[in-house]
Chains A and B, each alone.
Chain A
Amino acid sequence: MGWTRKVLRVDLTSGSCKSEPLNMELAQQYLGQRGLATKYFVDEVDAKVDPLSPANKMIMATGPLTGTMASTGGRYSVITKGPLTGAIACSNSGGFFGAELKMAGWDMIIFEGKAAKPVYLWIENDRAELRDAAHLWGKTTWDTEEIIKKSHQDPQIRVSSIGRAGESQVLYACIINDLHRAAGRSGVGAVMGSKNLKAVAVRGTGGVAVKDFKTFLQAATEAKKALADNAVTGQAMPAFGTQVMMNAINEIGALPTRNFRDVQFESANKIGAEAMREKRPTDGKANLVTNAACFGCTIACGRISQVDKGHWSVANSPKYWGATGGLEYESAWSLGADNGVADLDAITVANMVCNEDGMDPISFGATVAAVMELFTLGVLSKEQIGVEAPFGSAQALIELAHKTAEGQGFGREIGQGSKRLCEKYGHPELSMTVKGQEFPAYDPRGIQGMGLTYATSNRGACHLRSYTVSSEVFGNPVKTDPLVTEGKADLVKAFQDVTAVFDSAGICIFTSFAWGLPDIQPQLDAACEGGWTVEKLAEMGERIWNMERQFNNAAGFTAKDDDLPKRLKTEPAKTGPAKGLVSGIDKMRPEYYKVRGWDAEGVPTKETLARLGL
């Protein structure tokens, strides 16, 4: 058990919803969520498919621990071919939607084709049907969720939906559930929009069974104790959230600033976790209202924030006055430091707009950073952009957030992401991307392992595929030097493979700050048939990574795409411990291929594929 053993296949073209048994043979090789859904996807979809065509498919998938009593067991992922990257996309979200879907009796939903007109999928336990969504099209995710709950007269329904960004196919549109949790990266929301699928609403009352309940409960309880006893997951994350990173990463000189021109932001202390707890001089209240937890989570790192009602960005917009999802480190960085913006309330509001209309704040903020650099260089004018847009302009940030979310004016160009925008205006070198996806908040010159992480990430630049920051900055599980390239190939491979296991289990990757495979193995083995050992899980992680790589290679990616922008290889860091350093990606890449068992072109060898059963 652990699995419900049921897949819902939704043909949007014909309007049919059919139940089929989960392939248990594949479940033994790929577990669930990221791994299993990606296996289904690569078996069913041509790697060269146009991501926004009806031939692309989109899978919403839970893991075997989703909906169980395992801590953080509320995750689900969206797997498709990403329109921002053209690579495999897998975006993972918390909140409560995933657990509700599982308790309705479904391991995953496979969406095929395209609806002739806007629809939403309504699931009530084992009943599933497509319903007309004409009245929802054009609505924000916030309004969509409210309207669906009201029309079904059930406030306990969980909703995943796209906002106007997904409808207009902003290439980094995300899918929002529970108002402010997101399957965030690579443009999975644009795929949903391309299918005329506005939302998935689900009510599940069935619960989730596990193989050996007594053993499972014991394992889950011990693992929860490990989270509570750990200073990171038990104290720092609930109190300060991921935003605690802001000042630390700035101090070590790896906080990308002003589109990666600099590696330290002089106003980092105004936009980090500590600043969120400070009372504002204007209204005497702090930005941070409380922390929050997703389904079954005993960490509770989420931020609930409220801005000053008198702040210029919301003075005439009461809908932004309430407490709602606040800044995480990545969004605070992309909307703040990367744009040189130090106005905490403005950054918070820009993040609210991203949640409201379903945009990835990392890619949106980073694309605005490229626009600000183009404006600074005189390539783009105020007339073209519609607003003066120098680095540091909170007014430009807010205006461009609204324009992009609503598909208005220059916002339509920002919605294409920085790669396409910078190419259009003759400066492709200013796009801080890998495989078309914008970087997150760690500068590869100051944390060398993250350069290799970005370059080789199967979904384009991403920190959630191999978080070597744990080792290079925080010393978990062992301290390594962030400024050297030696040993980073092995480190990145290890993080990538283990992360694939966490992402396939139904739990949050943040548990990995306290848990290793030996901590999740007893929970999985008690929940699922199949004799899940640490060794079996480790091999599975490597298998998943290579499967994703094979898809990308078949889609047309080559070793040339495992690279970083010229700026990071030729413009040394100006300040901090990494002063004078560039990324050593060209040295690390061949070492990484060798460690992976790939040839010099980044293609897995026959021996590697045979060893992994691929």
Chain B
Amino acid sequence: MRVRLKLYAMLSDYLPPEAQSTNTLELEEAEEITVASLIERYRLPGKWVQIVLINGVFVPPEERARRRLKEGDVLAIWPPIAGG
């Protein structure tokens, strides 16, 4: 199963160097994987895991442990941000 992980702002430091210029990592997963397990694998600090989107749609904190990624899904994560 192929999924895509995108990490932005301070979280881009947690990507492998070769993925930092695009903020994107292509993943080939043998088994089903949850949002929380990917967050854990890349050791993303909990305080910086704020905006979690699958294909652009927000995944609330209480759903992240059981929410499984599907073939082709894009998981994108930001720390707390704002602008204007």
Contacts and interface: CB of A to CB of B under 8 A. Distances in A.
A18 B57 CA distance: 58
Interface of B: 6, 8-10, 12, 21-23, 47-48, 50-51, 53, 55-58, 60, 74, 76, 78-84
B9 A577 contact: no
Given A278-B21, A479-B58, A329 B83 contact: yes
Contacts of B81: 232, 236-237, 240, 244-245, 248, 474
A253 B76 CA distance: 13
A563 B51 CA distance: 31
A470 interface: yes
Contacts of A273: 9
Interface in A243-287: 243-245, 247-248, 251-253, 269, 273-274, 278
Contact of A513 (B8, B47, B79, B82): B82
A147 B84 CA distance: 33
A443 to B, nearest CB: 12
Contacts of B76: 247-248, 251
A231 B50 contact: yes
A228 B61 CA distance: 24
A492 interface: no
A329 B57 CA distance: 21
A239 interface: yes
B21 A235 contact: no
A576 interface: yes
Given A235-B79, A237-B82, A269-B22, 18 more contacts: A230-B80, A232-B81, A235-B10, A236-B10, A236-B80, A239-B9, A241-B83, A248-B8, A252-B57, A274-B12, A330-B84, A464-B84, A467-B84, A474-B80, A474-B82, A475-B50, A476-B80, A479-B58
A463 B79 contact: no
Among B12, B21, B57, B74, residue most surrounded by chain A Cβ atoms (within 10 Å):
B57
Contacts of A237: 81-83
B84 A473 contact: no
B58 A576 contact: no
A32 to B, nearest CB: 21
Contact of A236 (B22, B53, B82): B82
Contacts of A247: 6, 8, 23, 76
8 contacts: A236-B82, A237-B81, A247-B6, A248-B8, A251-B76, A470-B82, A474-B80, A576-B56
Contacts of A509: 84
B64 to A, nearest CB: 14
Nearest to A230: B80
Contacts of B58: 252, 473, 475, 479
Interface in A377-419: none
B79 A231 contact: yes
Nearest to A513: B82
Nearest to B12: A274
Contacts, number: 97
A40 interface: no
A87 B47 CA distance: 43
Contacts of B21: 278
A239 B57 CA distance: 26
Interface of A: 230-232, 235-237, 239-245, 247-248, 251-253, 269, 273-274, 278, 328-330, 463-464, 467, 469-470, 473-476, 479, 509-510, 513, 576-577
Given A251-B56, A269-B22, A329 B84 contact: yes
A244 B80 CA distance: 10
A566 B74 CA distance: 32
Nearest to B22: A269
A274 B23 contact: yes
B9 A244 contact: yes
Contacts of A469: 82, 84
A240 B82 contact: no
List of 9 A-B pairs having minimum Cβ-Cβ separation, nearest first = A242-B83, A245-B83, A231-B80, A577-B56, A513-B82, A329-B83, A236-B81, A244-B81, A232-B80
A475 B6 CA distance: 20
A467 B84 CA distance: 8
A55 to B, nearest CB: 34
A600 B9 CA distance: 45
A470 B81 CA distance: 9
Given A236-B82, A269-B22, A253 B56 contact: yes
Given A231-B50, A252-B53, A253-B56, A239 B10 contact: yes
B22 to A, nearest CB: 7
A23 to B, nearest CB: 32
Contact of B8 (A235, A244, A253): A244
Contacts of A479: 58, 60
Contacts of B56: 251-253, 576-577
A235 B80 CA distance: 9
B80 A251 contact: no
Nearest to A277: B12
Contacts of B23: 247, 269, 274
Nearest to B21: A278
Highest count of chain B CB atoms <10 Å: which of A231, A232, A467: A231
B9 A236 contact: yes
B79 A248 contact: no
B18 to A, nearest CB: 14
Contacts of A470: 82
Nearest to A246: B83
Given A251-B53, A274-B23, A474-B50, A463 B84 contact: yes
A244 B79 CA distance: 10
Nearest to A514: B82
B48 A231 contact: yes
A243 B6 CA distance: 17
A474 B79 CA distance: 10
B84 to A, nearest CB: 6
Contacts of B10: 235-236, 239
